[in-house]
Amino acid sequence: MDIKSFAGKFLSRLDKIDRQQIEAYFSKLIQEKNFLEVIFNRLREGIIVTDTAFQILFMNRASCRALGLKGGPELYLGQNLPDITDHPDLKARLLHYDPFSGEVATEELRLKKTGYQVLLARFLPVPDDEGGVESVVILLSDITEQKKSDEVRIKSQRINALATLTAGVAHEIKNPLNSLQIHAQLLRKYLTMPPEEMTLEYRQRSLRSSDIILEEISRLSRIVNQFLMAVTPRRFELQPGNPNEVIKHALEVMAPTLAENGIKVTLNLDPTDVEVRLNAPRLAQAFLNIIKNSEEAMEGTSEPLLVITSRIEGKSLAIYFIDNGCGIAEKNLEKIFEPYFTTKFHGSGLGLMVVYQIVSEHEGAISIKSAEGKGTTVTILLPISRQPIRLLADK
């Protein structure tokens, strides 16, 4: 015991202290102990103090309620904590917890009762005067209501998102359906005309109406496919691959369109042999959506330029898509990943939502910086599974 502490000084002078002083000292200790017990028993958070072998030294009433123990805490003093609880997760955590490691551990425990109960358990080793560990404090917090609130909130968000998606699909489908109806009526009119009235002009009109019907059917198909891609949860197998190769493939697909619009593309892809766990078709879809957005944003720009850069930043591969297009207004930046939000006349509002979903599937992150009239930078961070080996350059 530390001789500088009050208890150490008291014990070192025990032979010089009279009985009344000793009684006063222990009376004070008992009062303080009772006072602390009253406070601890009024706490809603469970507190259990054990020795390093998990023999119970102290526990309050809240811990008894949390663990479903009958009777008061005094009934369990001196007993082994893993023996008195029938909670398998808590038992397993106690058996695998080493107090001498100094680890402050946190664990969520789900107890099946009527419905369920969720406890947040924290294990805190208490050091002694010599730098070792003399006891363990276990704090138990009932977070059942918080979990239920979180689940209700998440369900509400899903319902709202689905309602937004459904409303968006209905809005997007309405225009093609109207067009289909109009041109189907025109086509019927032309086909029911007497042969002598079917001039070359009416024949060309009927062909044009049939072409528009086919275009609108294709447009409806794209809308439905985008909707399914946005709302259908899918699991994709991730394989080791190089995102730089996926970028090159996406650019090959977009090359004719980019060239037709006079867009210059600059590539700065380094390192060339980086490895990321990815699904190449899905990641290519994300890159194509971003490049397509840049292409549309640069419409009307005098010298359109798209710069694509990749480089290692920490444990991630950072990919930048930088264009000098029209940019995005600050008020719209926080909404760009929302379903069916678009500032484009022909936009579906699902492109960036799909990109966000694909990047999340790859355990990555996406961010967008933009200013109206000053272009846009889209940044994607993908976790690296294998760092490239760099050799020293020859002198």
**Count of structural domains, the chain:** 3
Residue 177 domain flag: yes
* 77 plus 164 within the same structural domain: no
* 378 plus 275 within the same structural domain: yes
Residue 342 domain flag: yes
Residue 395 domain flag: no
Out of 142, 166, 183, pick the residue that ends a domain: 142
CATH number of domain containing 131? 3.30.450.20
* 225 plus 187 within the same structural domain: yes
Task: State the amino acid at position 22 in one-letter form.
Answer: I
The CA R_g of the chain, rounded to the nearest whole Å, is: 35
Out of 142, 167, 198, pick the residue that ends a domain: 142
Q: What is the pLDDT of residue 234?
A: 61
Residue 12 domain flag: no
Sole residue written with tokens 């150490």 = 8
CATH number of domain containing 339? 3.30.565.10
Q: What is the pLDDT of residue 249?
A: 92
Q: What does the angle CA 280 – CA 166 – CA 364 come to, to the nearest 5 degrees?
A: 30
Q: What is the pLDDT of residue 320?
A: 96
What sections of the chain are H helices per DSSP?
A: 6-12, 19-42, 61-67, 81-84, 88-96, 144-191, 200-231, 243-260, 280-297, 330-333, 351-361
Q: What is the pLDDT of residue 355?
A: 85
CATH number of domain containing 157? 1.10.287
What is the residue range of 276's domain? Answer: 239-386
Give the pLDDT means over successive 10-residue stretches in the chain (395 positions).
52 61 63 62 80 88 83 86 82 83 79 69 84 85 82 74 69 79 89 86 88 87 73 73 93 90 92 86 90 90 94 92 90 67 48 82 90 91 75 46
* 170 plus 56 within the same structural domain: no
* 211 plus 162 within the same structural domain: yes
Q: What is the pLDDT of residue 89?
A: 78
* 138 plus 155 within the same structural domain: no
Out of 212, 231, 250, pick the residue that ends a domain: 231
Q: What is the pLDDT of residue 252?
A: 92
Residue 29 domain flag: no
Query: Which has the closest alpha carbon to 137: 121, 149, 153?
Result: 121
Q: What is the pLDDT of residue 237?
A: 81
